[in-house]
Amino acid sequence: MQKASGARSLVHLCSTRWSTIKQTCKTLLTSDKHMHAIVSSRNFMKGTVAQVKECIKVKKIITNLKFFDLLKKTIEILAPIDILIVKYQSEKIFISKMMPNFHALPLEFLKLLTANIINEDELAYLIKTCVSRLMFMYGNTHAQAQIIFKQYTRFVIAATKAKEEESMRYIMVFKGHKTVLQYWLVDDKYWPRVAKCGHQALQHGGVQCRLIAKLVENGLHSFEGEELPDPE
C-alpha cells in the first residue's frame, strides 16, 4: 500500500504513542482507495497458507463497510486524550495544575455523544477507563500534591509571617482553641485550593491528616522533598 499510494511512511512517529496511533489512523483514512485496490488485486492472496489466512483477515477488515467510520470515530476519541498527553508529558508539570484538565475529560467525551459520534455505552466505557487509568497512575497523590504549588508557596509565606507576629489566627490554632478543620473552614476563602486539600486530608485521615496538622502546628514551613515527623 505504501508503494501504491506513494507515501513515504504509513506510520509517522510522534512525540507520544497516542499521537502516533492517531496519525496512523488519519493516514489509513486518507488511503481508502489504495487499500481497496490492493486487497481486491489478484496478487494479494499469495504466499504460504498462513500468509493467505492473514491476507483474508486484512481484506475482511478493510472491506467492512464500518471500517472507515470506525477510523473516524477512533480519531475523534483520541483527539482530546492526545491534547492532554502532549500538553502534560513533561514530568515537571505540577499535578495540581494538570488534574482539573483531566477531570474535565469526560465533558469532552460527552461532546462526542452529543455529536452522535459515540453512543451511551461507549461514553460510559471511556469515562470508566479514563478514571481507572488516572487512579492507577496517580492514586491519592494529587490530594497531597495540591498544596505543593504557587498558592501553597504564598500560603507558607503568609503563615510563617503569622507565626512570627503571633497573630490571633496562629495563637488560636497553636493553643488548640481552633481545630485544624475549623481553620480550613474559616480560611478557605483566602486559600481555596489549599483548604480543599485540608478538607480531603481530614476526611481520609492517616498520613494526609498528620501532614496538614503538622503544617499548621509548625507555621507551615516548606516541606517539599522532606518527610515530616508525626505531630506530638
What is the DSSP secondary-structure string of 27-55? HHHTTHHHHHHHHTSGGGS-SSHHHHHHH
Distance CA 4, CA 38 (A): 8
Number of domains in the chain: 3
pLDDT tens digit string along 25-52? 888 888 888 888 888 888 888 889 998 9
pLDDT tens digit string along 164-201? 777 776 777 677 666 655 665 555 556 565 566 655 65
Burial letters 121-147, b for 16+ CB under 10 A, else e: eebeebeeebeeeeeeeeeeebbbbbb
pLDDT at 159 over 80: no
Residue scoring higher pLDDT (16 or 198)? 16
Parent domain of 50: 1-89
- 180 and 169 in a single domain? The answer is yes
Residue scoring higher pLDDT (16 or 184)? 16
Mean pLDDT of the 203-219 span: 47
- 102 and 81 in a single domain? The answer is no
Report the amino acid identity of residue 13: L
Residue scoring higher pLDDT (188 or 121)? 121
The mean pLDDT of the chain is 71
In-domain check, residue 232: no
Residue scoring higher pLDDT (120 or 208)? 120
List, in order, residues 6 or more apart from 125 with CB less than 8 Å away: none
pLDDT at 10 over 70: no
- 3 and 51 in a single domain? The answer is yes
Residue scoring higher pLDDT (80 or 190)? 80
- 131 and 163 in a single domain? The answer is no
Cα of first residue to Cα of last residue in the chain, in angstroms, is: 71
In-domain check, residue 227: no
Domain boundary among 117, 139, 161: 139
Domain boundary among 89, 122, 156: 89
Q: What DSSP string runs through 129-146?
A: HHHHHHHHHHTTHHHHHT
